Chains A and B, each alone.
Chain A
Amino acid sequence: MASKIVCCRCEDVTLADLEHSVARGYRDIEEVKRYTGFGTGPCQGKECLAVVAAALAKINGLDPSTIGPFTSRPPLAPTPIKILARDPAAHRFADDSGDDQGDG
């Protein structure tokens, strides 16, 4: 049954995958993220993080309030590279000529 319960839809991580990770010794949310890949797809954890945290609390026998989220990674939403390339924060190397480059 646990193999039919999908916790992370982006990366197809099931409850059975989470149980397997914990059984392997990878129990913390950061360890489980790495071992199963949950939260590393397009939603970056926005859909799955709370579900997985609740499941891990149950599997590990912990109070859910003791489980924090994994480190969130920028950008806030998937962003096209050509938009980022226009940002003025870009470092200019010696061979960057003019401001017209990198606009895709």
Chain B
Amino acid sequence: MQPNDMEDEEDASAPDSSGEFRVPAVFQKEDPLPQAAEVVIVGAGVMGLSIAYHLAKRGMTDVVVVDRGYLAEGASGRNGGGIRQQWSTEINIRLMQDSVALCRRFAVELGVNVWFRQGGYLFLARSAQEVARLEKNIALQNRCGVGTKMLEPSAAKEIVPELNLEGIVGAAYNSTDGILFPWPFLWGYARQAIAMGVKVFTHTQVNDIDAHRPGFTVHTSRGSIRAKRVVNAAGSWSPQIARLLSVEVPTWPIRHEICSSEPLKPFLRPMVSELASGLYCSQSMRGEIVGGVTIPGHGSTYSMGSTMSFLATYARRLVRLMPVLGDIKILRQWAGPYDQSPDGNPIVGEAPELPDFFLACGFVGHGFMMAPIVGKLYGDWLAGGPADKHEIFERYTLARFRGGAATDSHPKEDFNIG
């Protein structure tokens, strides 16, 4: 569990000759906020930190990230670490192809082991309708260059011999999807962004934001800071941050629960998910079976409490799908908030009524896997220029909700599973 920071061998893991630990001052907790910054990012989750890292990498280092809690306190520290390219819209498929490529380089580029493992994703169908849905998605994924295949149940069992095939009528499998351990991702982004000059302040609550048009003043529990640009990467709390600037972000928090078993010898290669219940589970590099299930009717809430209903539902579906797992023990369960958007797609780009206020929210439980590429695209755009603006910043803007429901120009993503 101790993260294998690659440079730790010659680093701060031991006191120096004076007997003092070299303190790299990761979060400058005692330091005052600077008076001004080019960009203030609200939210030190994976999205905010990825944006900060990529801005700095493009040369824009006058960046301050503030977060009311600690790293990995919110959804970025509470998700299952799944990284997949099996989506139903071309834009998400292509984004995730790029994100997977970035994940493959992450450990080397950022000097921290994130335990990324491409064991594939196996989606299981229990009805002809689900098979048709998978086949439609696979055709699109194949056109984009993702090698997802439709499998007969017997072929799925070759990949996961523990499956109970009763009721399974088909499966979709892509071998290059995978999982990672979310926490070191945050530590890696934070440490490298800080090394390039970014300042990260955790335990720093944003109380108010004034818009000066141009520019902003962000008032925090640690003092006020002027900013030319503000990025709202507060996850499920994005609507509250936006409201400080009278911008309505139409997302809402949905509690999703998850749990982890005792560690087992490695046996389960892919992430396994069944469409009917939203059940998913994978084996982490620690050996635990980590998984969840979608319980209908869990309404909008910021509560991160755990329920017996979740644990029982997950157990019931998991035992049905993989009976052999009935004897393993659950060690812990927890919950995290999805930032649910009306059409299942993220909300990014500039707020239409407020120039220089940027949004990175509404990722519906998939912000973690999207963050590597979305952070890079934001870095390219904000540290570059209009020519570097990716189409997501035109397509997935807040403005699309002002005209009503999702249209053909931005098809609804219907594969927000697991």
Give chain A's interface residues, CB within 8 Å of chain B: 11, 13, 16-17, 19-20, 22-28, 30-31, 34-37, 40-42, 44, 73-75, 78-85, 87-91, 93-96, 101-104
User: In this assembly, does B266 line the interface, its C-beta being within 8 Å of a C-beta of chain A?
Assistant: no
> B22-60 vs A: 1/0 string, CB under 8 Å?
111111010000000000000000000000000000000
Q: Contact: A87 with B27, CB < 8 Å?
A: no
User: In this assembly, does B277 line the interface, its C-beta being within 8 Å of a C-beta of chain A?
Assistant: yes
Measured between beta carbons, the chain B residues less than 8 angstroms from A73 are 306, 332-334
Q: Identify the closest chain B residue to A90 (Cβ).
A: B312
Measured between beta carbons, the chain A residues less than 8 angstroms from B29 are 25, 27
> Interface residue count for B (Cβ, 8 Å)?
55
User: In this assembly, does B71 line the interface, its C-beta being within 8 Å of a C-beta of chain A?
Assistant: yes
User: In this assembly, does B354 line the interface, its C-beta being within 8 Å of a C-beta of chain A?
Assistant: no
> B300-319 vs A: 1/0 string, CB under 8 Å?
00000011110111111111
Q: Contact: B3 with A81, CB < 8 Å?
A: no
Chain A min CB distance to B235 (Å): 17
Among A28, A41, A85, the residue within 8 A (CB) of B312 is A85
Interface residues of B in 164-191 (CB under 8 A from A): 167, 183, 187
Give chain B's interface residues, CB within 8 Å of chain A: 1-3, 12-14, 21-27, 29, 70-73, 77, 126-127, 167, 183, 187, 261-262, 276-277, 295-296, 306-309, 311-320, 323, 325-334
State whether A90 and B315 are in contact (beta carbons under 8 Å apart), knowing that A78-B329, A79-B329, A104-B323 are contacts in the complex. yes
Measured between beta carbons, the chain A residues less than 8 angstroms from B295 are 91
Bound complex: CA A16 to CA B12 (Å): 11
Measured between beta carbons, the chain B residues less than 8 angstroms from A93 are 276-277, 317
A-B pairs, top 7 by smallest CB distance, nearest first, are A37-B1, A25-B26, A104-B326, A82-B326, A102-B316, A84-B315, A78-B329
Among A74, A80, A90, A101, the residue within 8 A (CB) of B332 is A74
Measured between beta carbons, the chain A residues less than 8 angstroms from B262 are 42, 78
Q: Contact: A23 with B332, CB < 8 Å?
A: no
- Can you list 30 A-B pairs with a CB-CB distance of less than 8 A? A20-B13, A22-B21, A25-B26, A27-B29, A28-B70, A31-B71, A34-B71, A37-B1, A37-B2, A40-B332, A42-B331, A73-B334, A74-B308, A79-B329, A79-B330, A80-B327, A81-B261, A81-B319, A81-B329, A84-B314, A84-B330, A85-B316, A89-B307, A89-B313, A91-B295, A95-B167, A95-B277, A96-B316, A102-B315, A102-B319
State whether A78 and B330 are in contact (beta carbons under 8 Å apart), knowing that A17-B2, A34-B72, A102-B319 are contacts in the complex. yes
Q: Contact: B311 with A80, CB < 8 Å?
A: no
Bound complex: CA A45 to CA B239 (Å): 35
Bound complex: CA A35 to CA B77 (Å): 11
Measured between beta carbons, the chain A residues less than 8 angstroms from B306 are 73-74
Q: Identify the closest chain A residue to B333 (Cβ).
A: A74
Chain B min CB distance to A29 (Å): 10
Q: Contact: B70 with A30, CB < 8 Å?
A: yes
Measured between beta carbons, the chain A residues less than 8 angstroms from B26 are 24-26
Q: Contact: B312 with A44, CB < 8 Å?
A: no
Q: Identify the closest chain B residue to A72 (Cβ).
A: B332
Bound complex: CA A81 to CA B3 (Å): 29
Chain B min CB distance to A97 (Å): 9
Q: Identify the closest chain A residue to B297 (Cβ).
A: A91
Bound complex: CA A68 to CA B317 (Å): 36
Chain B min CB distance to A36 (Å): 6
Among B3, B127, B296, B309, the residue within 8 A (CB) of A89 is B309
Seed contacts A40-B331, A102-B317; 14 additional CB < 8 Å A-B pairs = A13-B2, A16-B14, A17-B2, A25-B23, A30-B70, A44-B331, A75-B330, A81-B319, A81-B327, A81-B329, A82-B315, A89-B312, A95-B126, A102-B320
Chain A min CB distance to B126 (Å): 6
Chain A min CB distance to B368 (Å): 15
Measured between beta carbons, the chain A residues less than 8 angstroms from B77 are 34
Q: Identify the closest chain B residue to A93 (Cβ).
A: B277
Bound complex: CA A6 to CA B319 (Å): 36
Bound complex: CA A80 to CA B315 (Å): 9
Bound complex: CA A93 to CA B254 (Å): 19
Measured between beta carbons, the chain B residues less than 8 angstroms from A34 are 71-72, 77, 183
Measured between beta carbons, the chain B residues less than 8 angstroms from A91 are 295-296, 309, 312-313
Measured between beta carbons, the chain B residues less than 8 angstroms from A89 are 307-309, 311-313
Bound complex: CA A42 to CA B261 (Å): 9
